[in-house]
Amino acid sequence: MPFYVYEECTALKLAWVNGSAAGDNWDIGLYDAALTKLVSAGSTAGTGNSVPQWVDIADQVLAANTLYYLICNHSATTANGLHGWSLTTGSLLMAGIKTYSPGSVTLGSPATLANPAGTTVVPACAILTTAGLA
């Protein structure tokens, strides 16, 4: 998922929202515009049904006026293992959202993204940063 940083900040944690049957493995990370991995959580077991799961990462400075990508991967072995939005191909392309299939849960570098083919579930994900914190 692409995002743009307007003010320098530091990413402290990343999150996804587990579905009603958590338990699969996840990896979530930050990538630069060239799709080089900056930091990731590593393979992490999903715990807690229907709740956000925050994971610590090595603090990552995000420069102002820069494009980044938040990429997550899910082992998808359990039905209802994630919470997200089901979007059509057109909606995904308009939002700049691509698919990523590394062949394992652990995120690689560089990431090879592809245009979505058909309806895709986009996981609910988040970044905790220092921006706006006193």
102-120 pLDDT tens trace: 667 888 899 888 887 777 6
Compute, in degrees rounded to 10, the torsion defined by CA atoms 43, 102, 16, 23: -50
Q: Is the pLDDT score of 86 beyond 80?
A: no
**What does pTM read for this prediction?**
0.84
**Residue 97 contacts residue 112 (beta carbons within 8 Å):** no
Helix (H), strand (E) at residue 22: none
Q: What is the pLDDT of residue 89?
A: 75
Query: Highest-confidence range of 40-49, 60-69, 113-122, by mean pLDDT?
Result: 60-69
Per-residue pLDDT band at 79 (split at 50, 70, 90): low
What average pLDDT does range 54-59 have in this prediction?
A: 96
Beta-sheet pairing, 9-17 with 52-62: antiparallel
Q: How confident is the model at residue 82 (pLDDT cuts 50, 70, 90)?
A: low
Q: What are the residue ranges spanned by the domains of the chain? A: 2-124
